[in-house]
Structure 1
Amino acid sequence: MSTLTEASTLPSELAWAEPIRVEMIVGSVRPGRFVPVVADWFVRHAGSRADLTVRTLDLAENPPDFAARIGAADARAPYGG
C-alpha cells in the first residue's frame, strides 16, 4: 500500500509526461478557521511527490470578484433557446 509521501512507481507506459497539477482550494473564510492546518498538511505531503505539482488557493486571502465574473457572464441559453 502506498502513502502520499511515496513517489509513484507507475510503469513507464502509464506514467504522465509531466506532473499532475493539483490545486488545493481552501473554501472556509470564517474567523478562527482550522482548515489552513489541514490544507498545509496535505500540501506538504502531496508536494513531496515527484508526480504532483501542488498549489493552494485560499479564498480568505484571495477572494474571487464574483460581481465582475457574474457581470461578464453570458446569460444566453447555450442552444439558442
Structure 2
Amino acid sequence: MSASTTATSGSTRLGKVSANTANESEIAAALKAADVSNPERWAKEVVEYRPYAADDSNLTSLRQNLAKYNPGEETINKIVSVLTP
C-alpha cells in the first residue's frame, strides 16, 4: 500500500514521458499520476496516433485527434501535460 501511496504522492516528480517512444503502460501510468480519468483508454489513443513531430512541444496533432472524442479541454490539457513528443 505504501508503494502506491508513494507513486501517487510523487506524481509531480515522475516527469514527462515520450508520446513517441513510451509504451502504452508507461503512458497510462503517467496519465493516472496526472489524475486523468480512464488513463488506459487515453494511453491507447496516444499510441494509436503516433508518430508526433519532434518539434511540436504542444502536441498539436495529438490534441486535434483527442478532440474527436470530446473529452473536454481540461482532460486534453492533463493528457498533454505529462507528454513530450
TM-score norm. by structure 2 comes to: 0.24
Task: Work out which of the two has the higher radius of gyration on C-alpha atoms and give 1 or 2.
Answer: 1
Higher normalized helix content (fraction of residues): 2
Higher normalized strand content (fraction of residues): 1
TM-score norm. by structure 1 comes to: 0.25
